[in-house]
Structures are given as structure tokens and as C-alpha cells.
Amino acid sequence: MLTYSFADLGSDSLYGHLYKCIRNDILQGVLAPGTQLPSKRAFAKNLGVSTITVENAYQQLLAEGYLYSLPRKGYFVAAISGEPAAAASEQPVPPPAAPEREEYFADFVTNSTNHANFPFSVWARLMRETISAKSEQLLVNPPPGGIRELREAIADYLFQFRGIAVAPEQIIIGAGTEYLYGLLIQLLGRDKIFAVEDPGYRKISQIYASCDAACRFLPLDAEGVEMAALESSGAQILHTSPAHHFPTGIVTPISRRYELLGWAARREERYIIEDDYDCEFRLLGRPIPALQSIDRSEKVIYINTFSKSLASTIRISYLVLPPRLLARFYQQLGFYSCTVSNFEQYTLAAFISQGCFEKHVNRMRTFYHRQRDILLAAIQKSPLASAVEITEEDAGLHFLMKINTQLPDEELMQRARRAGVRISFLSQYYHQPQQGAEHIAVINYSGVERSRIEEAIARLSRCLQL
Amino acid sequence: MLTYSFADLGSDSLYGHLYKCIRNDILQGVLAPGTQLPSKRAFAKNLGVSTITVENAYQQLLAEGYLYSLPRKGYFVAAISGEPAAAASEQPVPPPAAPEREEYFADFVTNSTNHANFPFSVWARLMRETISAKSEQLLVNPPPGGIRELREAIADYLFQFRGIAVAPEQIIIGAGTEYLYGLLIQLLGRDKIFAVEDPGYRKISQIYASCDAACRFLPLDAEGVEMAALESSGAQILHTSPAHHFPTGIVTPISRRYELLGWAARREERYIIEDDYDCEFRLLGRPIPALQSIDRSEKVIYINTFSKSLASTIRISYLVLPPRLLARFYQQLGFYSCTVSNFEQYTLAAFISQGCFEKHVNRMRTFYHRQRDILLAAIQKSPLASAVEITEEDAGLHFLMKINTQLPDEELMQRARRAGVRISFLSQYYHQPQQGAEHIAVINYSGVERSRIEEAIARLSRCLQL
């Protein structure tokens, strides 16, 4: 009769060990297909274990298909076809190479925020309060658009601070704008042609491409998207940031805004996606009103994020859908679960409705204002001063710095990189290479440590040989 | 000269009020295009405000395009073409109708978990510890696959409890399996044909359809996916749950598993998505080993979620990619940000690595075991006992209940609904209607309150007229 040793049992249960021994013999061909196994009682006696142990091992092998049973006859080894038999590997596989990340002394490209600026204690308190006050609601599946409290808090905030009057039902919460772009492609249809700004955020067109949606690149003039290019592009959907274009800093004036709305109103299937990613951080004057707030034809889909205003590692963004798209959303995409956990939705709702968000944004605007002034002063004091021209410094968290040089942008970037400073150039954000866009650095200062600004500028001066 | 009253200033700043007055006059046509505005100094004197106030109002109107300036001449009203002028609405729009949700006395369909079972105090403590110990890392953008600690904790857990040996680099974290399905479509290509199980989770095929990926429905035999149907479907990608199929409860035996692996190995572009959604909750014996653990050809993409094992409202799921797909992932999709916030990733990492997850799963398995026994006992005691046959009660969080009746499933469901009890039927999960699948209720008991089980069964007995 079959015999196995229970000597080196390790952490296994008796039945687990027996199961593995028999499975191994089946996989190795020691027990051929069709072989009858001993009766439970006889086998148990032979092995010196209980009948239950054998019963459990047989049941498991039966469930996994290594054995089959015939009524009143007993258990037999199954025929295992397919691949050459192989037991589960007990060795971890060698780790495949993952792309390396570079460390910089100063990073003028990243969108990440400094940990000193995050309101940890308030956030921790609200999280604690949420867990103790909302334990029941925390485990109730929210509607596909997100929890009611958060959508109400956002609607209220948009009305108070952005002049956008919407009902909470129009707001759809999602785990980051990148996720929401994908959702919009599904909502509006992959057969549509999407148009993006050139230059622009590369990720937007990457996502359209990755989702196999046709994408056109529209040139800009001083007021934003060129109307003639938009008209002739054949696009039905325009993705734009009229309040503050990245990276040029263009603010689309009111006349062009009406032209854009007029374009959208002329065809049933046309929509504008208004990407209002950094509206909170205009340093001069009032925020630029949203295109959404003057849209009378329900043609604007507004999108914004807390990743920019709160922390890039908190993944909460939202759409504001015009009423006419809302029914379509529930009908077509209502089966999707909301992608943000209830814990963070309730915490953020409290953070906004208790006024902490407004306070935080005001504090950050002051911080960024000061950050920019220190950076500009550092440039002013450095050898860079005479060789650069700064523009668009009031609009948001970056400005443009035109460098008087003959060196190609790629060379400038590599030199800065070797000096530990990460910068990007306007030319990199173009899909269609553009004359006159060279030597213009895009300086994003939101993530740079203040104590390093002076040294970073000194390094830039040196490596650019100015 | 232009004159405005500052009497009803409200919460506005002086310049904000002035800006609104001028903007309004421009939009109403009171100030015609080309009109020159007063000089800042004269206007300030006339209004009794400082020059700075006028300057700020002009700058804002300039930035938004209501004015244009000519050097050494002054400020002029811009021509605003396009739509008929309209100021931002100050009235919230009427809320569009959102789909209503029904409340049930007992819900045998939902996947949501009972709040009494969530380890709130442990989770709150780990969250607090995370916030105080990791404040710096919390704001550092993670790699696209997620933070290292969580991927290590999951790799370790998979090795210990699931016999899956993988490197942390192979693990990709995402905000729910639904999101990850969409990511896989992008990774594998929308030109591929995806095959799903029929019957099956409707959401899976809905997501393929919503992403415009071709989808075939494969019939099942007693061992799972029918091989002949798979071969003739033309599919390259098979989406399957071999450890515990929903809703039939089928466990795919080892021989069929090798056949599936053999099918995948025969063509370069073929892959199997192994959806292991509830592997933790097999109530009898050991967990069924994953297909991934016997895959020698790097053909299995493993996917699992914490939404089932922890709470449906915590949106954290993960993929395990075979090494050969990893380079493709980083190259094609490496631009995507991870969709789960760092706060929850670090908290979950601590929860797993400190052994709390294992403890929680064990506790829940015991809870569900007991829940099932109470439910089966309630059925046994009720008039239902003589009219139903229970199967697949050991495999996971649901079982099948065949009802001896002539009433159509739709009628059974409506009667239960009117009695406050939500149940679903096997027939609803079929894409191709199937003979012999009628009168079989799928009873998911994970979310039903224990104190209501007896009453729910009594109601079911009554409304089914048994």
C-alpha cells in the first residue's frame, strides 16, 4: 500500500502534507491515471493517521481534479492531459527589471507637492472622525458618481469660489483625471475625433492614443486654440484649458471663449472638455471664470482635480457633466463602481465643508507666491539675469524662461540633468515641432524645496555657461 | 464719466465689485466695443477709490479678454463675438433625476460587507501610524505600479497563502478590478478577441463592450470553459475564474487547467486572465491553487482584489503580470499614475505585513461559515426545505438553490422584491439563454444581516407560495 512519511511536516497540517504527497506522485507519474487509491480506513490505519485526515486529503484532490470518484467503488487517479506536469514553483522568480527613477537636487518638472505643506494633522483628525462617526456609511457602496456628501461639498465650493452653479448629481468622482479621461472616451464614444492643444500636456494625447480614440493636435495663437484649425480638424470633442494653458500660460479671452462655445453649439455631437487643473493658483487678481459658467447650451464638461490643489498622491478628481449627458452616463456607465474609497471621499467632504480646503488653498497660494518671488529674486541675482527673459509668471505654478543661447534644448536639458537639476523645454510639449519655440524653459516651481532654490539657480547658471 | 455705486458691496472686494460692474456693462452692450475706458487715475478719483483698485479691475478684465490695451493710449472694450452675451448664472440649476436606489430588508445579491465585520480600530490605528511615520513618503509620487511596500506585502502574502511566487515588480496596484480590466484591454490590445464565461459576472462583459473590445461568450461544462468552444471562438484572451466560478460555483479541475494552459501556450498572443476574486473564502479544505502557480509559459495574468476580502468600498485591487508583459506595461502604460492614494496603499501594506489581513480573512471565513450554516438551518426549518435543493455550498460566499416551481424566474424575483428580499437567478447571468438554468436562485449571503436571516427566509417561503 502507498506509504508516506510525516517526519518533515514543517508548518503543514497532516492532511495538507498527505494531499501534497499524493498530488506530487500523480504529477510525477508515480501514480498512473486510473490507479485506484486505498480505501480511507485502510490508508489511515497504514499511515497512522485518522480517517478524517485521509478524507480531507481525498476531498481536496477531488475538488482540484487530481482524483475522481466512482460511487461505491472508491477514488481513482485522473488523467491529466495538456502541459507536461509541473508542481507549483517554491522559488520566487528573479525580479524583472523595473525602470529606474532618477533623483534630482531640484526638480522643476514634477507636479508633486512638498510634504511640509500638507495639512497632516487636520487630515488625520478628519480621518479619525470619519472612522468613528461614519462606520456604517463607510461600508455602504456609493452611487457610481461618488458619495453624496462629497458631491454636495464640491458643488457648494464650485458655486462659492468658481461661479459654477451645478447640482451635486452632475458631479462624478473618480480616481484621478487620467481615469476620468478614459471614462469620457467611453461616454462620448470612441468613434469621435478628439482635439487637444499643441503644445500641451503629453499625457492627455497619450491616453487618447492608448484608448484608440482618434486625436488631432490644434495649433494655438495668442488667444488659445486657433478657430480655423478647430473647424477644419473634423473634431467633435475639444479638450482645452482656457483658464490657464499648460505650458504656454495662455488665458483664453472672453471673445474666443464665445467662439468656442459657438463652435460646440453648432453640432449636436460636439462637446468641450474644460480641464481646469490649476485654477486655484492664479497669483494675480481673481481666478479666471470657468468656460462652464457661461455655457448656456450644455456643451461644456468641466474636469478638475484635488491632486494638484491638495497632494498629487491623493487620487481624487471629478467631472461636472451637463444635464443632457447625465442620463447617458447612468445608462451606459452606471454599472461602474466609484474608484475612490469611501474613507477618502468622506474625509475630503469634511475637509471641504468645514472650510479647511479653502484655508489650505489660500495658504498654498501665498506659499507659491512667495516661492515664485524667491525664485525670481534668485534668478535676478545670478548670472542668468542678463541672459533670460521671464514671462507668464502670474498665471499659475510655472513660468516660461527664454534663454539667450545657441545650444539646442536637448543639450541644455542634459547639462542641467548632470548638475542635478531637472528642467523641461517648451519645445518638448509640441506634437508638431514649432519654429521659435526653442530655448524656452518651462519652470514649474511647486515641488522644489525652498532651501535649494538658490543653489539650483547657481547650478543652472554654471551648466548653461552663462 | 462712468460711475458705479459701491453701496451693496456684499462680500466682494472693491476691485472685485468694480470688475463685475464693468464686465456686466460690457456684456449688456452698455459699453460698446471700441469704447475707451477712463484713465486709472481719473476713474479712481471719480469713484473715490485708490488707483490700485482700478488697476486691479482693469488687469483682471484684460486677462479675461473683456478689455484690450494700446500702449500709451489706454484701455478699450473688446469686441465679443460668438454667442449672445450672458453672464454667469447665479442660480443653481434644477437637479437632474438620478436613478433611485431600492432599500431591501435582506439583500442576497449585493457584494457589500457588513460594517460590524470591518476592523475599524486596527485600520484607524494603522492610518494614524502611517500619517505620523510616513509623512514624507506619503507625498512622493509612487511608480505606476504602486508603492513598493504594498507590492512587497502582497508578493509575500501570495507566496505564503496562495503558493504564487512572484517578484513585487510584477504586481500592479489599481483602484478596483474594473479599472484594471480597462488597463488590460489597453495593454493587450483592443484588436484582440476576449472570451468570457457564460454564465458569468455581467460587469466583465459590460466593461469589454464599453471599451469596444470584441467579446465572445463561452459555454461551460461541468469542468468549466468548454475547450472546443474556446478553440473555435477565435479568442486570444480568456477571462476566467478557475478556482471558483461565479455564479455556478464550478472549480476547474487540474486536467482542464492544463488544457487551458496548453491552449494559451500554442500562440504567441494568447493570454489567460485569472480572476481570483474570492479565493480567500473557500469554506471547505484548502484554497484551490491558482492557475498562475502552475503556469510555466508566462501566459497567466492573475488579478485579485481587496474589495471582496476587506470591504467593497475600499478600492484596491492588483494584477500580477508575467515577466514578459512587464516591459510592455512600462513602455506602453508607464505614463499612467497609480490610481490608489498613497495613504491607503501604506495603510494596507502595514495591515498585510503586520499579519492583520491574515487574521481578518480567517475571522471572516469563520464568520461566513457560521452565516452559511445559520442560513441553511433557517431554510431547513422553513417550508422551503421540501421545495429546494442546495448545491455548491462549500466553495465561497454564495450557493445555488434550485426551487421546485413552475413560476418564471422574473416572477419569482418580483415577488421576493415586493417582500423586501433581493435575490437573483442563475438564468440572469447567461448571455445565451440556457435550457435547464431556470428556477435556480443564486444566494449570496455575505452582506445579509444575521438577525434578519430567519425572517428573510420566512418571507421568501411565503411569497413563493411554498
Nearest-angstrom CA–CA distance, B269 and A37:
40
ipTM: 0.88
Q: Mean pLDDT across the stretch B206-224?
A: 96
Give the type of residue at B462: R
Band (A191; pLDDT cuts 50, 70, 90): very high
Q: Which of A65, A98, A341 sits opposite B256 (nearest CB)?
A: A65
Work out the pLDDT band at A98, boundaries 50, 70, 90. Answer: low
**Torsion angles phi and psi, residue B159, rounded to 5:** -70, -45
Joined together, the cell numbers standing for residue B331 give 513602455
Set of cell numbers at residue B219: 459555454
Q: Which residue has the cell 487637444?
A: A196
User: Where do runs of H (alpha helix) occur along A290-448?
Assistant: 306-309, 323-333, 342-353, 356-381, 409-418
User: What is the rounded average pLDDT of the residues A190-214?
Assistant: 95
What pLDDT digit, counting tens, does each position of B240-268 carry? Answer: 999 989 999 899 999 999 999 999 999 99
| pLDDT of B205 higher than 90 | yes
- Per DSSP, the residues of B309-329 read HT-TTS--EEEE--HHHHHHH
Rounded-to-integer distance, Cα A137 and Cα A129, Å: 13
Four-residue CA torsion sign, A293, A295, A296, A298: negative
With a cut of 60, say whether residue B90 has pLDDT above it.
Answer: no
B100 vs A contacts (CB less than 8 Å): none
Residue of B15, B99, B334 lying closest to A99 (CB–CB)? B334
Cis geometry, peptide bond prior to residue A247 (ω within 30 degrees of 0): yes
Structure confidence at residue B393 (pLDDT): 78
How high is the pLDDT of residue B89? 45
Which chain B residue is nearest to residue A222, measuring alpha carbons? B65
CA distance A261 to chain B (A): 7
Mean pLDDT on B343-367? 95
- Lowest average pLDDT, out of A84-93, A105-114, B275-284, goes to A84-93
For residue B135, pLDDT beyond 90: no
Residue B95 or residue B159, greater confidence:
B159
B138 CB neighbours in chain A (<8 A) are 115, 118, 311, 313
- Confidence check: pLDDT of A92 > 80: no
Over residues B147-158, the pLDDT tens digits come to 999 999 999 999
H/E stretch holding A68: strand A67-70
Q: Residue A281 has what pLDDT?
A: 83
Using alpha carbons, select from A202, A196, A360, A181 the residue that is nearest to residue B339.
Answer: A181
Q: Is the pLDDT of residue A445 over 70?
A: yes
Among B161, B174, B194, B394, which residue's Cα sits nearest to residue B293? Answer: B161
Task: Catalogue the E-assigned strands of A121-223.
Answer: 171-174, 193-198, 214-221
Chain A residues within an 8 Å CB radius of B311: 138-139
| Per-residue pLDDT band at B99 (split at 50, 70, 90) | low
Chain A CB contacts of B223 below 8 Å: 65
- Predicted confidence band at B414 (pLDDT cuts at 50, 70, 90)? very high
Q: Which pLDDT score, from 0 to 100, does residue A273 have?
A: 98
Q: Is the pLDDT of residue A82 over 60?
A: no
Average confidence (pLDDT) over B112-137 = 89
Report the distance separating Cα A385 and Cα A408, nearest Å. Answer: 20
Average pLDDT over residues A435-461: 92
Phi, psi of A213 (to 5 degrees): -100, 135
User: Searching chain A, which residue's CA lies closest to the CA of residue B141?
Assistant: A313
**Grid coordinates representing B258?**
492544463
Stronger pLDDT, B92 or B447, i.e. the higher one: B447
Average pLDDT, integer, range A232-244:
96
Report the run of H or E that residue A143 belongs to, with start and end. none
State chain B's mean pLDDT as an integer: 90
Percent of chain B scoring above 90 in pLDDT:
70
Name the one residue in this structure whose C-alpha cell is 503644445.
Answer: A199
Q: Does B114 score more than 80 pLDDT?
A: no
pLDDT at A285 over 80: no
Residue B458: φ, ψ to 5° = -60, -45
pLDDT at B85: 41
- Asked if pLDDT for residue A290 goes beyond 60, the answer is yes
Are the beta carbons of B88 and A342 separated by less than 8 Å?
no
Chain B residue with the nearest C-alpha to that of A132: B120
Closest residue in B to A258 (Cα) is: B82
| Prior bond of B95 cis (ω within 30°) | no
Average pLDDT over residues A313-335: 94
Judged by CB atoms closer than 8 Å, whether chains meet at B179 and A339 is answered as: yes
Q: Do B255 and A65 touch (CB under 8 A)?
A: yes
Task: Tell whether the model's pLDDT for residue B88 goes beyond 50.
Answer: no
pLDDT at B92 over 70: no
**A107: phi then psi, degrees, rounded to nearest 5:** -115, 105
Closest-CA distance, B374 to chain A, in angstroms, reads 23
**What's the average model confidence in pLDDT over A351-371?**
94
Task: For residue A88, give the nearest of B145, B163, B253 by CB distance.
Answer: B163
Lowest model confidence (mean pLDDT) among A255-259, B70-74, B145-149, B349-353: B70-74
pLDDT of residue A330 exceeding 50: yes
pLDDT at B286: 78
Residue A212 sits at the vertex; the CA angle it makes with A211 and A216, to the nearest 5 degrees, is 110
| Candidates A341, A345, A346, partner chain B, best to mutate (most B CBs within 10 A) | A341
pLDDT, residue B394, reads: 80
Can you tell me the distance from the alpha carbon of A230 to that of A246, in angstroms, rounded to the nearest whole number? 18
**pLDDT tens-digit series, residues A136-155:** 899 889 999 999 999 999 99
Contact yes or no for A394/A250 (Cβ under 8 A)? no
Do residues B396 and B249 make contact, with C-beta atoms less than 8 angstroms apart? yes
* B98 phi-psi bin (left φ>0, alpha ψ -120 to 50, beta other): beta
A-chain residue closest to B288, CA distance: A64
The beta strands (E) that lie in B79-208 are given as 106-107, 171-174, 193-198
| CB spacing of A251 vs B64 below 8 angstroms | yes
Quote the pLDDT of residue A97: 59
pLDDT band at A360 (very low <50, low <70, confident <90, very high): very high
